[in-house]
Structure 1
């Protein structure tokens, strides 16, 4: 079932969803099931599965030349989606990236997902590699998420890369895209960011999931700006409870988001990470309750493979 249908069928009741990471290479799918099992009591209608693009390592050869080696540290997004749908009978939503894929790679991936009965995808540009200052698209790949959304939308209309195909089957993906309440780190302004978000919607996006935020006012202001610009599709807030002192510096740097002073000082004064984890749970619980009171249709949690703190929050909210 499509995410938009889940929202319609909820009749105003808030829905709980979360995102998982593929396990590191060498681990099996049971580690994924172990992180999902504790959260199933809250009846998530869908679970997102991230995709991690290939990284590169360089090895110096005896000749002095550098050999580039592809390192895939978190494979398995498609297989995990199939496993999750089969085991839990919920919709699994794979993230699809521009980075690391040619357009033909993307088309073949989408065909496989369609064969598996997967109804939803999230279309993302993806981050720059650690070896890159700025994102560089794959040769013959989609450069921006707007392009990727258009390719998926074309498949939904039976338009494949090979124009000579006759009587081609249409896919029926519900396309989600990312939104940034504090703007994308590379965007010159929030208004320009919303301009390109509207382009994704014009190309076929049907719902938005936001980057994490720790101040609900940032989210409400973002929604107001989107609605004022003519965006009417569902906007789902992405939430993450802070869990370690290290994240106090890592999250703002990595994701270009701000944390409220009250949260910062509470974490700074915490005696250890157990105390930080409890602070994170309490803060995110209050965020969640306020969002539910405001009539937000779905709350989406970035679990990062850890269920304990998300379960503690969900018990208080759903």
Structure 2
């Protein structure tokens, strides 16, 4: 018998890691839309996501609808809401009131954002012009309410930009802003939309070199609707690949267009997961069918992969 011994760790297979799964939802514009949204939520809940994000407008202009959707998620589902909170259009006092209202309802996840400014928007001096200020405010309120939270923490997410932010002087500046959000207390980041996996992996590598430690979750849109993709490009400056748009426009049927878009999206998601992305955030536009088609083609119980620091 050999005197050499081996550790279980030497022969055990790598641990399986289930990537995080989440969806973005918009508050309903009307009671009729809210009924349809509830059906979408039922379908999405069946996939057992880790959370759903609830968007809001700058200044919390649709706060009643945001709270309506949040209350439904909390009381009628097993889902955890990640509620968007935007600094533009709100004073510190107003934001503090919203944070307290969310915590009182049982919300334990907030996506802290500056918010997208309309053209020629001039923020008031009392507004929060940067997302990190929103992060800091949430942490201050959290510290003052530790008894309510049983000394727990609120999970705070922030936005990350694989492409340069439209108002940023450089991509390196975007990284510096992201690092400052983490230092202010952010726990994770969700990216804005992208269509090239190399853009995401480059963002992760540059962020890690700058010292960022928190997870960067890729935000992906099911790329099935060419009109929506073009509208997205107008709003964000991020254009879908021309060959994808051409294929979608040339499809002979809605079913073919959907197959093309789902296949592109699945390939994109697989590529970033294979590179080590810690999860997947799907921008649903309150539609469940395309999101479910993407998930049906994915194996989210994947082996841990090699991109150092992505998770």
Q: TM-score range by the shorter chain?
A: 0.7 to 0.9
In structure 2, C-alpha distance between the alignment counterparts of 1:118 and 1:38, rounded to whole Å: 22
In structure 1, C-alpha distance between the alignment counterparts of 2:242 and 2:226, rounded to whole Å: 14
In structure 2, C-alpha distance between the alignment counterparts of 1:273 and 1:194, rounded to whole Å: 40
In structure 2, C-alpha distance between the alignment counterparts of 1:73 and 1:279, rounded to whole Å: 35
In structure 1, C-alpha distance between the alignment counterparts of 2:92 and 2:170, rounded to whole Å: 29
Find out whether 1:93 has 2:82 as its counterpart.
yes
Question: What does residue 30 of structure 1 align with?
Answer: 35
Find out whether 1:142 has 2:128 as its counterpart.
yes
For residues 52 and 275 of structure 1, do their structure 2 counterparts lie closer, same or farther at Cα, with a shift above 3 Å needed?
Answer: farther
| Candidates 281, 286, 302, aligned match of 2:283 | 302
Gaps of 5+ in 2: 1-14, 301-311
In structure 1, C-alpha distance between the alignment counterparts of 2:226 and 2:216, rounded to whole Å: 30
Deviation at 1:99, TM superposition (A): 2.0
Superposed CA RMSD: 2.6
In structure 2, C-alpha distance between the alignment counterparts of 1:28 and 1:306, rounded to whole Å: 11
CA contact (8 A) 2:230 2:240 kept: no
CA contact (8 A) 2:230 2:239 kept: no
Question: What does residue 12 of structure 1 align with?
Answer: 17
In structure 2, C-alpha distance between the alignment counterparts of 1:219 and 1:272, rounded to whole Å: 32
For residues 248 and 109 of structure 1, do their structure 2 counterparts lie closer, same or farther at Cα, with a shift above 3 Å needed?
Answer: closer
Question: What does residue 49 of structure 2 align with?
Answer: 44
Deviation at 1:76, TM superposition (A): 1.4
Which piece of structure 1 moves more, 207-216 or 146-155?
146-155
Deviation at 1:75, TM superposition (A): 4.3
| 1:118-137 equivalences in 2 (<5 Å) | 118-129=107-118, 132-134=119-121, 136-137=122-123
| 1:215-254 equivalences in 2 (<5 Å) | 215-254=196-235
In structure 2, C-alpha distance between the alignment counterparts of 1:179 and 1:234, rounded to whole Å: 11
In structure 1, C-alpha distance between the alignment counterparts of 2:225 and 2:107, rounded to whole Å: 35
CA contact (8 A) 2:58 2:87 kept: no
Gaps of 5+ in 1: 1-9, 56-71, 160-166
In structure 2, C-alpha distance between the alignment counterparts of 1:95 and 1:120, rounded to whole Å: 9
Question: What does residue 211 of structure 1 align with?
Answer: 192
CA contact (8 A) 2:56 2:62 kept: no
CA contact (8 A) 1:20 1:47 kept: yes
Following TM superposition, the consecutive aligned residue runs of length 4 or more in structure 1 with deviations greater than 4 angstroms are: 72-75, 167-171
Deviations 1:98-149 (A, max 9, x none): 12211111101111111111111001111123xx324x33452212112111
TM-score, structure 2 normalization: 0.83
For residues 267 and 158 of structure 1, do their structure 2 counterparts lie closer, same or farther at Cα, with a shift above 3 Å needed?
Answer: same
Which piece of structure 1 moves more, 301-310 or 36-45?
36-45
| Candidates 93, 102, 105, aligned match of 2:91 | 102
1:114 match: secondary structure: helix
TM-score, structure 1 normalization: 0.81
2:217 match: secondary structure: strand
Deviation at 1:174, TM superposition (A): 1.3
Deviation at 1:23, TM superposition (A): 0.7
Deviations 1:24-64 (A, max 9, x none): 13446432211111222211010000002369xxxxxxxxx
| 1:49-64 equivalences in 2 (<5 Å) | 49-53=54-58
2:85 match: secondary structure: strand
Question: What does residue 196 of structure 1 align with?
Answer: 177
For residues 195 and 91 of structure 1, do their structure 2 counterparts lie closer, same or farther at Cα, with a shift above 3 Å needed?
Answer: same
